[in-house]
Structure 1
Amino acid sequence: MQLARFRHPLLAAVLAILPAGAFAVGSDDSSPPTQTQTTTVCPKGQVWSDKLKACTMPEDSRLDDDTRFRAVRELAWAGRPDDALAVLATMTEGDTDRVLTYRGFALRKSGNLEGGLAAYEAALKQNPDNILARSYFGQMLVEMNEVQLASLQLDEIRARGGAGTWAEQALATAIATGVTYSF
């Protein structure tokens, strides 16, 4: 691969250091998030807790990270990436590849491509088999008109056992049509 030919030198450098490794499938959440009171009732900055049956601040210690993560996905899908980032900042599990994947997604959707790139790189460094991170990263590359680089991510998804998954289909569609996903 001749990385010097790519339009974005930072992307070329990232792709050069991304690990290639085992072929296990990473996480792949394929359905749009279910809309809840987080986006229909709660004031800005709050999330819905089924456990509490109320809106609460995302840093509330009674919330678990899975509840926060569902709110992040819902907020991102609703076109509120800055709110999604605020909830991600309260996650207690730290910078896991799932948190980094959605940080990359929310940063990308907020227009911060450099931040999105760094988050996807960190997610894939932790878990090279995270096919969802690869799909979102590839979709960012499509948005940047870097279709060849996006195709490399599609190849990686397939090589890591992701053929037939939403991650593969979403990226293949993005490459073919230029349309990317918001969840």
Structure 2
Amino acid sequence: MKLSLFKSALAVLIFGAMINLAGAVDPDDWDTKPPEPTPTSKKCADGEAWDEQSRKCVKVDAAVFDDPERLQAARELAYAGRFGAAVKALDAIADQNDTRVLTYRGFLARKSGDWKAALIYYDRALSADPGNLSARSYLGMGLAERGDIEAARNQLAEIRSRGGRETWAERALLMTLRSGGAAFY
């Protein structure tokens, strides 16, 4: 009996670890936590990303990368504060209307001080996908930065109502609201 319980517990732990590992690189899991720095943001020049197979920096528009990898590079570079490099990675993505591309264009515009452009990108992202938690979180942070706390709280309520409780999107916006409008990111 004890051995059977031990095996079951071990199986659950291994399965959970596999899910966590898969989530760390899954482009569909992009709004649950900030990206981990890799050689893309640590070593590569603007317009390049790390290619694991060749173990070197390669032009981000090279055929070795697919669009989810380019999006991940853009996201990582944006979090590293390398906005110009992030734009180059976004520019290399085929579908410029992908809601994640629009979200990160909004994020980059907001961080660069162009609130008007940020609003346009966030609006386009949310019109196409009202459940885009990252767009809602970043929009909420921008609203809070500008003193519109009520509108930011509305975005937090939307995140929660769309299944975003306990996600990075909720926590980041909540931290911004608790700070009085100083954006978490």
For the aligned pair, the TM-score class normalised by the smaller chain equals: 0.7 to 0.9
Query: CA 1:128–1:153 in structure 2 vs 1: closer, same or farther (change >3 Å)?
Result: same
1:50 to 45, 49, 52: 52
CA-CA distance at 1:140 after TM superposition: 0.9
CA-to-partner distance for each residue in 1:35-65, whole Å, 9 max, x for gaps?
1112222223221121332211111122111
2:80 to 78, 81, 84: 78
> Does the residue aligned with 1:140 lie in a helix, a strand or coil?
helix
1:4 paired residue number: none
1:120 to 2:122 alignment: yes
Q: Matched residues, percent identical?
A: 40
For residues 68 and 105 of structure 1, the distance between their equivalents in structure 2, rounded to whole angstroms, comes to: 16
> Does the residue aligned with 1:149 lie in a helix, a strand or coil?
helix
1:181 paired residue number: 184
Contact 1:65 1:92 in 2 (8 A): yes
1:165 paired residue number: 167
- Give the count of matched residue pairs: 157
RMSD: 1.8
Structure 1, unaligned runs of 5 or more: 1-25
Higher relative contact order (CA 8 A, sep 6+): 1
Higher mean displacement: 52-61 or 69-78: 52-61
1:19 paired residue number: none
Tell me which stretches of 4 or more aligned residues in structure 1 moved more than 3 Å. Answer: none
Contact 2:33 2:167 in 1 (8 A): no
CA-CA distance at 1:27 after TM superposition: 6.1
Task: State TM-score, norm by structure 2.
Answer: 0.78
Structure 2, unaligned runs of 5 or more: 1-27
For residues 32 and 82 of structure 2, the distance between their equivalents in structure 1, rounded to whole angstroms, comes to: 19
CA-CA distance at 1:73 after TM superposition: 1.4
More helix per residue: 1 or 2? 2
For residues 33 and 27 of structure 1, the distance between their equivalents in structure 2, rounded to whole angstroms, comes to: 10
2:11 paired residue number: none
1:109 to 2:114 alignment: no
Query: CA 1:27–1:115 in structure 2 vs 1: closer, same or farther (change >3 Å)?
Result: farther
1:136 to 2:138 alignment: yes
1:149 to 2:154 alignment: no
